[in-house]
Every structure is written in structure tokens, then in C-alpha cells.
Amino acid sequence: MTNAPEKAPDVEEGIEYWNNQPANYDGVLGGFGTGSLPRIESLGSRLFLLGLYPELSTVPSAYKPLREPEHFLRVRALDVGAGVGRVTSDTLLPLVSDVVLLEPVEIFVQEAATRARASAAGSTSTGAEERSHWPGLQGGSKSVTVLQGTLQEFDPLNPHRTHFIDRIGYQPARPADDIGLGYDIIWCQWCLGHLSDEDLVAFFVRCQAALKPQRRSLIVVKENLCSDLPDSKPLTIFDDQDSSLTRSDLAWKVLFKQAGLKIVREKVQEGLPEGLYTVKMYVLGLSLTNGKFTDWFMTGMRCDDYICLFENPRKQMEMQ
């Protein structure tokens, strides 16, 4: 059980708060959009993702050349609570083929669409100070699909309650072909605090169903952490300003377990400015079934500075 706050997030209050923030990096990052944070944070995310998908690297490895795939497979990602598209453009698009971007706040999602269209047109002079390049859109090799809706109502496989805004870049022969195909990566960053515990567990369950079967699919959660209670119990804190929750490490882990998810890797983001909450990345897969992992993480993995996975599930449990 988590040490539950007295209040739960209110969706409309949260949206109202963000509607009154600037639709730029500074607005979505709480005033830290013009310093080193955006660059360092996105670099940390990309390196973390490359540790899971080394074949996505666009830089040849001097240590161990990667085998060229026999057939090109498009890697599809979902970016939820995406704001103005910062994570999509700076973290995901440099590595994956197609991103579906979901954001509930009107001014943010429209700005994300504007940025994507401008990049596809080869323009960066559209008024914002940090207009970034969205890789692959101009040449049509990659795509971004922009949706507006809340995480509470969003079903990744059946997004009928969301508003379709645009698809920019690569277009399949039939535009609806990949709508229900699921995702290789579901990326959740700095947005899950706007979901109550109950809504969050339900959201995770829907995300699990949307992971591509027979592929190395994963969910990444990257969020702020408050400290656990002194007696090593989980803590959740309510913030009246934006109607959101900040959870401790143990509070997150309780909810992951309730949703049937297994933590495969976890890492603290380094290099952020002092005075901020600790930011941690979790990679989530399916739980153990009959004593064995049911996902891809047990095969072909290497030891690195995050965690080392063994074929013996008992060894894996001992490490945690």
C-alpha cells in the first residue's frame, strides 16, 4: 500500500494549469527549457534506449559491428503526455521510425503539430526560440501522428476517444494500416503524476495489451521521485498547483506490481541541475510466468552499468 495523499489529481484542473503555461520548452520544463537540462535529459534518454536497442544506433560501433537486419522493420513508439513534442523530436525520432504523440492540452498539442509540420517543410524559423529538427520528417522516411486526448481515456490499441490532428512525414499505402498494430516502445515521461493510482494501473494494463507480440517491446517510465518514508515505506505527495502527484521509488514499484509489470532495468538520470527532484527511468516488461520471463529481455542481452540479466530467474531475483 502507498501512503495515499488526501486528494487525487483532477484532470480539468491539471489541463487548466498547463493551458496557462507557455507552449515552448521553458513552459513544459518549468522554467528550465533554455539551459542545459533539455540537452542533457534527452541525451540520457537516448543512451538508455540504445542500451535496450543497440541496433537503433545510427553511429557504427567500433567495439562490435552490429549485424545488418535482413529486412527493415519499422520501430513504432508512443509518446504520452508529450507536451510540445520535445521527447518525440529529441529522444525518439532520432532512433525510431514512427511516433504517435498524445497530449491533452490544446496549446501544447497544436504547437507540437506546428513544429512537426515546420520540420517536414524544412523550416525552423517559425517563431519559437528552440525549434528543433524532427529527424526523418522532411525526407518522408519517418512519421509523427499527433493525437489530442487524456491518458485516463486513452486506449493505445483503440484510440477512438482521442482527437486526430495530423500525420506528418511517412505515409503507409493505406493510412489506417498501422493504427492497431501496437507499439515497440511506450514512453511515459513527466506526465503520469496526473493520474490517480487507480487510473495509472488501468493505463498500464492497456499499455501492456498494446505492446507488439513476438517483438522486443517495452514500456519506459521516466518520472520525478520524492523520498520514501524513513521506515522504508512508499510515499505519494499531492501538489495543489497543478493537481498532480509525486511518487517515491517504492510507490512506483507498488503500482508496477499491481499492473502486472516487471522492472527489467532502472537508472537515475544524471547531470540535471541541483534542487530538482531525482528523476528515474524504469523499463517495464511482463511479470514472471511459471518461473520464467515471458518477454525478450532474457535473450541476447549484455552486462552493462544498469543491470545484468541471467538465464536463471533465481539469479535475477537475487540481484533485485
Q: Is the pLDDT of residue 175 over 80?
A: no
297 confidence band (pLDDT: 50, 70, 90): very low
Give this prediction's pTM.
Answer: 0.86
pLDDT of 177 over the 80 cut: no
The amino acid occupying position 230 is P
Q: Domains plus CATH for the chain?
A: 11-57+73-311 (3.40.50.150)
pLDDT range class, residue 292, cuts 50, 70, 90: very low
Q: How confident is the model at residue 289 (pLDDT cuts 50, 70, 90)?
A: very low
Q: What is the DSSP string of the chain?
A: --B--SS---HHHHHHHHHTS-SSHHHHTTT-TTSSHHHHHHHHHHHHHHHH-GGG-SS--SSSPPPPPSS----EEEEES-TTTHHIIIIITTT-SEEEEEE--HHHHHHHHHHHHHHHTT---SS-TTPPP-TTTTTTSSEEEEEE--TTT--TT--TTSEEEEEEE---SSTTTTTTS-BSEEEEES-GGGS-HHHHHHHHHHHHHHBPTTS--EEEEEEEEEPPPTTS--BEEEETTTTEEEEEHHHHHHHHHHTTEEEEEEEEPPSPPTTSPEEEEEEEEEPEETTEE-SGGGSS----SS----S-HHHHHHH-
User: Each residue of 227-237: pLDDT tens digit?
Assistant: 999 999 999 99
